[in-house]
Structure 1
């Protein structure tokens, strides 16, 4: 019943926290019958690995008050009634506006977010103590219509090797959907725009080596069935689902860290709220210790400058961003051609 509540005991640096879960029997994933309480229990089960991957960072909460089939919204400001032990940090958005965002420091924070109907956790690429300088270089391999996870696998493997060429160590996870996320820990020495340029340089190099399979084209009409390297995910205030974060898909999939050795044989649909805790207990966390040996992006920034010198300039930013220096027109190519032809006819 709606008035019911459950209590979860969650280990904490301060001992244990008793976390209240209201409406515990509310079904969030109707197709598989997963409830709000089961979501909270999942976050306790994977808590240490979840916090190692996503904790200590500003995080946006994607909330689904009526379950995955209902309305959703992003919560970036700490909601009213947040526990006093829950931390926040003030971040600067692309518009220049500044506002606090939640920071998760312990599993109880994730359970509190589940109580607030959070399903997807979107951590920043930078840490709370240095929000302007990412310590992760992130690549989102985005399959286009007609392609899927299987087509992204060889791209991810080639990307791993390319990371190695520039002195970076790559870590991989499923997106929880059709895509693949490849991360590399980096020294927090460069602001977001420079890290974005490093991602573009990496993407362009991979595109040169695999032109039939990879694209950095922002406009969908120019991508075809190639895997898109979504470089704009490297922008300030652009995030992707964190490691071990649930996804709002019917089968309750999870964005699951993998060993590189299992990428070619894994089925991303098998990594769910109900399977990942046992997997983690049996196999351990493939991302444990990720940040023990961060790399540098100097070589990638040299590649960026090389491409600039060769006439390859800035790429389009998301439509909600302010116009950026050197950015091409934010006009769909077919629309630009149509407008140009119409002007010639006048």
Structure 2
């Protein structure tokens, strides 16, 4: 086949093939590696937490392989090892970082055993690596994993297993004709229901067993909150959490489009290493519903819109308290962030996280690039740490958080994401990351708004109604 190389390559990868062979049009196969014939392999990439490293008896120093993991239900689960891709410069950098992170016990829920003639050094799970790999094995381990670099903009606790095959699930999306869409937002069907022109399969499937919330309930929720939610989600790069069999079964994290994805827009974006990768976003209610039909519960967004991808306009500070910290201290932390920002003439807004802390959100005009944006967020967290060293830390390392609140500023880097306003959380109770008024801070707990309460609230006044009318910007 002459031409259409990118289309052929994408089709091969989506069909589950290993890749394609490309050649110069006028070249004959010689068997020599001269660049006339090349293999293009369908590798996958994602981030993993480094939980240790090995050193074989053939080396006296350095790193033989990295031991990698992902978080599942709050536990670090071993995912395999990466033993290639490590240059001398990489090993030197890693050795310096590993020196302060060594620990006696493995951080993994079930730790791998050392192979013959190798030593394992366990590490605090505080570094994130970008890994290229061929596939997941049947044992949920990586095959042909290769180190591509550290990701300093990622919070290790956010690293979950991504799934490239999830769009092949039995959930079926069938967009209806425009005429059908305009009849009613929702109508019954012999095989299920239709919402925003999307046929919903298995609407009675239980997603949140503790609350007896079904898939149909989840999709109706997103249909009802769409008007409030879309201004914060539309045309922003998404990372999503899918739980197609409910939160009691395996959920997975996804940031790249896959075969079968509907009602999304795919966009190629340059990675930190200069390579192009496909990401995706949605534009309307149909996109929101289509994702929910595929089992998506959580929507996480970039801090910029695709129209100004390199100029972020949404800054988020996530208050992450150490275990056992009283809620009154977390509330005071939110007030302190608000006051620091006010001293800088910046208005901020409050929402629940659906978890342990609050999120303080700052709307901005897209004026500065990611580096300046990221550095500004870091400096705000550092000011809080310096002003109240017994209360707050800007250090992501868990060992530095004892009896303190981590002011998570890392979410403000290029490629990092934060949970979207009005998004459900894939946790017991069907919590929502809900916008609330500052006057409600002492009345609403971080996990105090569930799906039913969120629906009740959107019938009232919008506490963020002037969010997009701010004209503030960084310089």
Q: 1:255 aligns with which of 430, 433, 454?
A: 433
Query: SS of the residue aligned with 1:275?
Result: helix
Separation of aligned partners in 1, 2:414 and 2:309: 9
What corresponds to 2:267 in structure 1?
89
- Per residue, is there more strand in 1 or in 2? 2
1:136 aligns with 2:322: no
Provide the residue aligned with 1:80 in structure 2. Answer: 259
Deviations 1:295-334 (A, max 9, x none): 2233xxxxxxxxxxxxxxxxxxxxxxxxxxxxxxxxxxxx
- Alignment check: 8 A CA contact 2:354 2:433 kept: yes
Residue equivalent to 2:127: none
Greater RCO (Cα-Cα under 8 Å, separation 6 or more): 1
Match of residue 295 from structure 1: 472
Change (3 A) 1:269 1:103: same
Give the Cα–Cα distance (whole angstroms) in 1 for the partners of residues 398 and 363 of structure 2: 30
Assess, with a 3 A threshold, how the Cα gap between structure 1 residues 87 and 33 changes in structure 2: closer, same or farther.
same
RMSD of aligned alpha carbons? 1.9
Q: Residue 35 in 1 paired to residue 221 in 2? A: no
Native 8 Å contact 2:303 2:315 kept in 1: yes
Distance 1:68 1:46 in 2: 21
Matches of 1:241 and 1:196, distance apart in 2: 18
Residue in structure 1 matched with residue 248 of structure 2 by the alignment: 69
Q: Normalising by structure 2, what TM-score?
A: 0.58
d(CA) in 1 for partners of 2:279, 2:327:
32
Q: Report what 1:264 is aligned to.
A: 442
- Native 8 Å contact 1:148 1:179 kept in 2: no
Aligned residue in 1 for 2:41: none
In structure 2, which of residues 352, 359, 373 is the aligned counterpart of residue 174 of structure 1? 352
Contact 2:318–2:360 (Cα < 8 Å) also in 1: yes
Confirm or deny: 8 A CA contact 1:168 1:294 kept in the other structure: no
1:213 aligns with 2:399: no
Task: Give SS of 2:307's match.
Answer: coil
Task: For residue 148 of structure 1, report the CA deviation from its aligned partner.
Answer: 5.6
Question: SS at 1:158's partner residue?
Answer: helix
Aligned with residue 224 of structure 2, among 38, 41, 45: 45
Q: 1:264 & 1:94 partners in 2: Cα distance?
A: 41
Show the counterpart of 1:8.
194
Note if contact 1:64-1:73 (Cα within 8 Å) is conserved in structure 2: yes
- Deviation readout 1:107-158 (Å, 9 max, x if unpaired): 2211100111001101110001111221112111111112264421111111
CA contact (8 A) 2:352 2:447 kept: no
What SS class does the counterpart of residue 100 from structure 1 fall into? strand
Whether contact under 8 Å (1:5, 1:24) holds in the other structure is no
Alignment CA distance shift 1:53-1:150 (3 Å): farther
Alignment correspondent of 2:96? none
Larger Rg, first or second structure (1 or 2): 2
Which runs of 5 or more structure 1 residues have no equivalent in the other structure?
11-17, 299-346
- Count the aligned residue pairs: 288
Distance change >3 Å, CA 92–CA 152, structure 1 → 2: farther
* Aligned equivalent of 2:364: 186
**Higher percent of residues as helix:** 1
Give the CA deviation at 1:211.
1.8
Distance 1:142 1:5 in 2: 44
Deviations 1:255-295 (A, max 9, x none): 0101001011113433111221111112x322234122232
Assess if the C-alpha contact under 8 Å between 1:187 and 1:296 holds in 2: yes
TM-score (norm 1): 0.78
Unpaired segments of 5 or more residues in structure 2?
1-170, 173-189
Alignment of 1:145 onto 2:346: no
2:282 maps to what in 1? 104
Deviation at 1:94, TM superposition (A): 3.2
Where 1:195 maps in the other structure, the secondary structure is helix
What residue number does 2:340 align with? Answer: 162
> What displacement does 1:196 show?
1.4
CA displacement at 1:185 relative to structure 2: 1.2
CA contact (8 A) 2:208 2:214 kept: yes
Deviations 1:78-132 (A, max 9, x none): 232333x532333333343332322222122111001110011011100011112
User: Which of 225, 230, 255 is residue 403 of structure 2 equivalent to?
Assistant: 225
